[in-house]
């Protein structure tokens, strides 16, 4: 699915999202990726959503200074993380929204274009 015409070349936006991939500036990514308006980090985590640990979320917080993190669970929405798993997010006082990857891509594009400090942390199955 095509997502958004990149009208601001200085901001990293998702151009497309499909089965097992996302596309940023014409480059396809098929493994876990962290996208912020100014940078992209491949392989931010080695886990799938169902094997994610609090250490993985702690690393995520260390990698970004975003006020809100959109966590992509893959192609399908999964249940929200447990409170124990969320401790690093809570301690850092960062907002977290959990949704499937297509929803993360759409939401991230809107927030990034609004100038918000947002990060999209996508996990693949």
Cα–Cα distance between 19 and 101 in angstroms, integer?
Answer: 10
The set of residues, in sequence order, having a beta carbon less than 8 Å from that of 18 and lying 6+ positions away, is 1
* Residue 12 banded pLDDT, cuts 50, 70, 90: very high
Instruction: Choose among 65, 98, 103, 75: nearest CA to 19.
Output: 75
Tell me the per-residue pLDDT of 37-96, one tens digit each, with 9 for 90 and over. 999 999 999 999 999 999 999 999 999 999 999 999 999 988 888 999 999 999 999 999
CA distances in angstroms from 96 to 29, 69, 123, listed in the order given: 22, 5, 14
pLDDT of residue 125: 82
Tell me the per-residue pLDDT of 20-35, one tens digit each, with 9 for 90 and over. 999 999 999 999 999 9
pTM above 0.85, yes or no: yes
Per DSSP (E only), the strands in the chain are 14-18, 21-24, 27-29, 33-35, 40-42, 68-72, 95-99, 118-122
pLDDT of residue 73: 95
pLDDT above 50 (res 4): no
* Residue 8 banded pLDDT, cuts 50, 70, 90: low
What are the backbone angles phi and psi of residue 22, rounded to the nearest 5°? -130, 160
What are the chain's domains?
14-122 (3.40.1230.10)
């Amino acid at each position: 699915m095509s997502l958004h015409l990149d009208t601001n070349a200085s901001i990293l936006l998702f151009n497309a999202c499909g089965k097992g991939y996302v596309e940023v500036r014409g480059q396809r990514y098929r493994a876990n990726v962290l996208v912020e308006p100014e940078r992209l980090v491949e392989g931010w985590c080695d886990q799938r959503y169902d094997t994610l640990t609090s250490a993985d979320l702690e690393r995520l917080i260390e990698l970004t200074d975003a006020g809100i993190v959109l966590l992509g669970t893959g192609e399908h929405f999964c249940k929200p993380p447990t409170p124990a798993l969320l401790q690093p997010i809570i301690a850092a006082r960062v907002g977290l929204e959990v949704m499937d990857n297509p929803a993360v891509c759409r939401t991230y594009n809107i927030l990034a274009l609004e100038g918000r400090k947002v990060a999209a942390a996508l996990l693949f199955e």
